[in-house]
């Protein structure tokens, strides 16, 4: 397996680290059978890829081995965002190379310079990403990956722009919807949630991203790149039951 260098960017601050720990804990409480998790959003630029990468780093902090799969073969950002490069500027092979039969699974799997994080990039854009993701090779790749990694995090195209995420959902143990605060309306969020439900995937919850925190000073600044809260459907329900019991 080839080593590839990536630049994770600026070290997160205290508040973000705390949010990531909470996020990681909520993922763990979803159960040991939830290991392949897909991430999507309603629209582009809601911070989905950043959420995926930061969660992967948080999981590796607890000793987990994580594979990030970029399945957005329409408009991928990961190679450029994390400044990924191979020696002598060789081409980085990706998912579209594998699903089109040009390369093997081992060709597209890269170990990174960040301990515990492995990556599969999207590869060149293709005209038929939905059809390619429907191929049995994609399902086989994910199944084989479960033998080697504790978690597989799949970064999908926005569901409001393409149906790809609903196709990917069929091979996943759970789905998380990333929502930018004030970015989309409630109606669109509900529509995307229904699409995920129709795929049969278990919806684990949603990440509210780019949150404008109330108050002043350090706690009042605006997180342009980071998320503020993780909402788990199951955790919220337990909280409501607990409050009701206390009132009684």
Domains of the chain, residue spans: 2-247
Instruction: Name the more confident of 244 and 68.
Output: 68
What is the pLDDT at residue 8? 81
Average pLDDT of the segment spanning 228-237: 48
The pTM score is 0.83
Chain center to CA of 174: 11
| Calpha distance 84→70 (Å, rounded) | 13
For the structural domain made of 2-247, what CATH number should be given? 3.40.50.300
Task: Read off the pLDDT of residues 129-144 as tens digits, 9 standing for 90 and up.
Answer: 999 999 999 999 999 9
Q: Closest Cα to residue 207, out of 187, 194, 223?
A: 223
SS3 of 222, please? strand
What is the pLDDT at residue 237? 53
Contact 153, 49 (CB under 8 A): no
What is the pLDDT at residue 228? 42
Average pLDDT of the segment spanning 119-124: 94
Structural tokens at position 140: 């086989």
| Calpha distance 173→184 (Å, rounded) | 26
| Calpha distance 137→67 (Å, rounded) | 17
Rounded to the nearest 5°, which phi and psi values hold at 204? -80, -30
| Calpha distance 39→154 (Å, rounded) | 6
Compute the Cα dihedral for 113, 117, 118, 123 and give only its sign: negative
């Amino acid at each position: 397996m080839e080593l590839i260098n990536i630049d994770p960017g600026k070290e997160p601050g205290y508040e973000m680290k705390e949010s990531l720990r909470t996020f990681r804990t909520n993922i763990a409480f979803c159960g040991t059978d939830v290991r392949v998790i897909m991430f999507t959003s309603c629209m582009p630029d809601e911070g989905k890829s950043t959420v995926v990468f930061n969660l992967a780093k948080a999981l590796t902090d607890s000793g987990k081995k994580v594979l990030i799969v970029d399945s957005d073969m329409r408009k991928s950002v990961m190679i450029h965002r994390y400044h990924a490069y191979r020696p002598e500027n060789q081409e980085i092979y990706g998912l579209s190379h594998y699903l089109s039969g040009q390369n093997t699974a081992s060709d597209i799997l890269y170990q990174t310079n960040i301990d515990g994080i492995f990556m599969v990039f999207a590869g060149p854009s293709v005209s038929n990403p939905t059809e390619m993701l429907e191929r049995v090779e994609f399902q086989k790749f994910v199944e084989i990956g479960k033998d080697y990694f504790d978690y597989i995090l799949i970064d999908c195209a926005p569901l409001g722009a393409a149906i790809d995420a609903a196709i990917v959902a069929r091979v996943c143990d759970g789905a998380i919807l990333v929502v930018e605060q004030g970015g989309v309306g409630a109606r669109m969020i509900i529509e995307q949630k229904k699409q995920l439900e129709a795929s049969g995937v278990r919806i684990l919850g949603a990440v509210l991203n780019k949150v404008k925190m109330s108050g002043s000073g350090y706690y009042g600044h605006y997180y342009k790149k980071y998320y503020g809260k993780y909402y788990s459907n199951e955790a919220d329900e337990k909280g409501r039951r607990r409050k009701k019991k206390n009132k009684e």
